[in-house]
Chains A and B, each alone.
Chain A
Amino acid sequence: MRIIRFLLQKEFLQIFRNKAMLPIIFVIPVVQLLVLSFAATYELKEAKFALIDRDQSIASRELVSKLQATGYFILQSEFTSEVEAKIQLEKGEVSFIVEIPRDFQQLLSNNKATSIQLVIDAVDGSVANLINSYVNSIVRDYSATKAVNINVAGLQNIEQFSVKKISTQAINWYNPNLDYITYMVPGILVILVSMIGLFLSGMNIVREREIGTIEQLNVTPITKFQFMVGKLVPFWMIGMFDLLLGLALARFGFQIPFLGSLTTILIIAGIYLVLIQVLGLFISTITDTQQQAMFIAWFIMVVFILMGGLFTPIESMPMWAQKLTLANPIAYFIKIMRMVLLKGAGWKEVYEMVLIISVVAAGLLAVSVNRYKKTSG
């Protein structure tokens, strides 16, 4: 215990003496939460469109002003021919074209069904989907007021739909306003602690090898266990501190709901951080320089993040990719964070995932400790 205390003392002395370390500890969580939460959003804002209004009637203008009134769409330009509108679409100056047929108002006033055409730039598939569904719901609302059916004809995929007698009404649970930030912040917190855990602790061990101090340490009575505790605990504490900082920012800055218990989150985060740190430890046993370790850590991190369900839902991945995410600790922790924070899940709902994290952490620890012995003699 005495030796561990001295090791920790030395480690903290070095960490706080490192000029880059304080900004890393305090700036990274703030920047990640503030910038990523606002910037990484799928919400549609101010998509520009071109209009071909062949009817030039009160009804057609009414529909166009409804589209604009939502704030999602801005009327960029009006054309009389399809060709000109398409040029603008190709140039990327507008995201979609709305075409209203000549007999639009007439058919409406005769209580007959009519259609409008929507041509969407679908290079970015998710944006195209959003535009499609937003326009559809606006048109649906409008046709409901007219008590007639207006069909929206998409270019690639002609969807016919009309107001039915039975309508479905969706209610969003847990995140009623579909607030993107509420959805993102718990995930970003996970990325934050993962980065601290994986990079800093693994790097620190390789550093001892790179500058040769490990040779001197190995000839002292310090045991492997003491050495590792001395290396892992400081960054575990920093990771937990950053998580608390991030949670505070999420709660009081972003007004993210806190339905579950903070204790549950902290206990699971503690276990999760050990797993991530052990992964860093493992990387340090297979590398000789910080550069190598950094590269491998980044590679693993990018794969974990992209397949972690933060940006793209795991459910929409192909089956083989979904199977792969079973080995992705970030995916588990993001899921746990969202469940506990947003749904108020307790131990009963998450214990299986926590068990998996703990077992993987223990297994990886055994392997790394074993490998560490071999490399240092």
Chain B
Amino acid sequence: MSLVSLNNVSKSFDKVQAVSNVTLQVNAGELYGFIGPDGAGKTTLFRMLTTLLVPDEGTCSVLGLDIVGEYKKIRPKLGYMPGRFSLYQDLTVEENMQFFASVFNTTIEENYELVKPIYSQLEPFKKRFAGNLSGGMKQKLALSCALIHKPDLLLLDEPTTGVDAVSRKEFWEMLAMLKQEGITIIVSTPYMDEAEQCDRVALIDNGQIMRIDSPKNVISSFKDALYGIKHSSKYSLITALREYPYAKSVQPFGEFVHYTDQRDELPLSELLNFLKSKNLEDVEIESIQPNIEDVFMELMEEQNHE
């Protein structure tokens, strides 16, 4: 059963086409990821799913209800965590929780079991103002507030942006746990490494969906042999590789440069000799497994060539 369904949805702001012709379904109980860079249209999609924005074209239904005509019935069943921290900084942790519980006509006690694993970490600080919490704590509080009324659908817009690596990891563990509780979750993120934690992902760029599949299938769609190449001067390495006549794609990835070749078999010594001729000594090359980001880059390139 699909809990969320978008059919040919488009939305533009003045002259900018934020979302164009998006069709997707999210099943009950799924942990679904919107993956894409900043400005891809993820937040616009979220604002439509949260009934805050009306699409220009197409239809959108959430929990079987139309977002335009039946938004009042949808809102009480949604848990929403906007990209920007949007709780009251001048209220304490506990007061924020109480406030959001009460506007959803419930109490902290009533749904305590659901939020306990997250909220219990905050309880030592419950008298502290929300504005004085650390980034990771703020995010946990926001998640607790979004969950306090036991929503059917949890919408998290870039919840891990600006949060440290440890808190990010913890956060995804919490999401996995909530999924066990049967809550459907849609999460957006610009971090490709997080995508692999989702059941299914939609790769979004320029307001369009490039691919929808499970992370595993997305990765296996990457057919080329992938190499990680490393050199102390990354910039000259990239420039040199781009000049190599057989190069298919050259993408910087952290300390490595990801490289694919136009030929089926890459003659390593030939490439090393080529780089040597460009004054690049001590180059490390290793064969590596592709990840979602590689697929994303490939899809983006394809889109740009069209």
Contacts and interface: CB of A to CB of B under 8 A. Distances in A.
B53 A219 contact: no
A372 B123 CA distance: 36
A215 B100 CA distance: 13
Given A3-B103, A220-B104, A13 B95 contact: yes
A211 B103 contact: no
B102 interface: yes
Interface in B179-206: none
B91 A215 contact: no
B208 interface: no
Contact of B91 (A6, A7, A14): A14
Interface stretch (B31-39, B77-85, B164-172): B77-85
Contact of B82 (A10, A212, A221): A212
Chain B residues touching A, majority SS = loop
Interface residues of B, number: 28
B99 interface: yes
B137 interface: no
Interface in A1-35: 2-3, 6-7, 10, 13-14, 17-18
A220 B52 contact: no
B86 interface: yes
Nearest to B95: A13
Given A6-B102, A213-B86, A377-B52, A219 B91 contact: no
A300 interface: no
A376 interface: yes
B139 interface: no
B50 interface: yes
Contacts of A211: 86, 89
B105 A2 contact: yes
A219 B105 contact: no
Contact of A221 (B85, B89, B91, B103): B103
Nearest to B76: A221
A222 interface: yes
B50 A219 contact: yes
Contacts of B100: 216, 220
A217 B78 CA distance: 12
A7 to B, nearest CB: 8
B70 interface: no
A65 interface: no
Contacts of A10: 88, 91, 95, 99
Contacts of B47: 377
Interface string B48-73: 00111110000000000000000010
Looking at chain A's contact residues, is the secondary structure mostly helix, strand, loop, or mixed? helix
Contacts of A215: 52, 82, 84, 86
A216 B51 contact: no
Interface in B292-306: none
Given A6-B102, A377-B47, A377-B54, A219 B80 contact: yes
B90 A17 contact: yes
A12 B229 CA distance: 61
B218 interface: no
B64 to A, nearest CB: 18
A376 B71 CA distance: 13
B116 interface: no
Contacts of A213: 86-88
B54 to A, nearest CB: 7
Given A14-B88, A17-B91, 11 more contacts: A6-B99, A6-B103, A10-B91, A13-B95, A14-B90, A212-B86, A213-B86, A218-B50, A219-B52, A220-B103, A220-B104
Interface of B: 47, 50-54, 72, 75-76, 78, 80, 82, 84-91, 95, 99-100, 102-105, 145
7 contacts: A2-B102, A6-B102, A211-B89, A212-B84, A216-B100, A219-B51, A220-B75
Those 3 A-B pairs whose CB atoms lie nearest each other, nearest first: A212-B86, A6-B102, A377-B52
